[in-house]
A = this chain, B = another copy of it.
């Protein structure tokens, strides 16, 4: 029982999944009451000292920026962080892995920082800031490896993993929620008046006979959401994830950290199971080959996600870096035809007009999953992935 209490306490404290493994012969054994561990106690003096220093630094900065990361969501702090940024007059960006955060809050959201792969305005805003405040942001290559100019982490303020790093020193044992709450108490409002230029997303897809690019898919989705309202999204790894960055801010789950393929479809099913909302799933053909078949379970549970399958018959993202490797050629599988066998509707589209029609049709059909297999010519990338590839090559060449 003490072990169970400890594990559950860690689950709450780190807001991360935990495992409790139950040997088969223990399942029916009675267990003493599990007494929950006392909550972790924050030292109020340390908290004050730390918040003092953060506020002072932000005030002295000429161009402070707040970058929100996954912990903000994990600890349920989105509303509070939005309020804080308004009161402090801080423009907000998310990291790549934080994409989708604050999408539903009234925050001065500028866009998503992606270094060389991102929009230049956002990249400059972040890289030129003299007061970068990283809130719940995981410091890792996925978020920061492709910076144009290396960010000096020693000059930032980082609240993460239950501690705060400022410049060269560290305040230990200060949970993110405690820091945010104390800052809100210290900065009572009202909101500061200031404007930010939000990122621009493509809209207005022509319903013509041209073949489809990933950016066309983003455009079509933007149009759809404009008409029908936001939908939560799940994306797999591959160009579909870069394409997701061109879709207007909405809740997004994606395999950011380990970048594992095969995440998208099951994650989308989980989204609908957990929230009841109909999700949009973005997935490449490579990834679909791994776990796409899980769509067969939709019928049993009544799920009806809309699946946009980016079929370029290729591990295209790998090919751009390693064009000589023929294992990247996947051949053409007939995904649309298989939808019926799996209990859903399937359609293959090759032109922008077909895409638009298929999306409208899918939107209108409820109760079955809707698989739209989008044929994309090999070598055609989303603008974002193209920018990313060019940027990485530029950075490598400079070495």
Contacts and interface: CB of A to CB of B under 8 A. Distances in A.
A340 to B, nearest CB: 6
Interface of A: 43, 45-46, 49-50, 154, 166-172, 289, 292-293, 296, 299-300, 331, 333-338, 340-343
B331 A341 contact: no
The 3 closest A-B pairs by CB, nearest first: A334-B341, A46-B168, A338-B341
Contact of A333 (B170, B292, B343): B343
Nearest to A346: B341
A341 B348 CA distance: 12
Contact of A299 (B300, B331, B335, B336): B331
A168 B341 contact: no
A280 B341 CA distance: 23
B331 A167 contact: no
Nearest to A294: B289
Contact of A300 (B169, B293, B331, B334): B331
A336 B341 CA distance: 8
Given A50-B169, A333-B342, 18 more contacts: A43-B154, A45-B154, A49-B167, A50-B168, A168-B171, A169-B172, A289-B296, A292-B293, A299-B331, A300-B331, A333-B341, A334-B340, A334-B343, A336-B341, A337-B337, A337-B338, A337-B341, A338-B341
Contacts of A340: 334, 337
A342 B334 contact: yes
Contacts of A169: 49-50, 166, 169-172
A167 B45 CA distance: 10
Contacts of A342: 333-334, 338
B300 A154 contact: no
A342 B334 CA distance: 6
Contacts of A343: 331, 333-334
Contacts of A289: 293, 296
Contacts of A337: 337-338, 340-341
Given A296-B333, A335-B341, A170 B172 contact: yes
A86 to B, nearest CB: 28
B168 A49 contact: yes
Contacts of A45: 154, 168
Nearest to A333: B296
Contacts of A292: 293
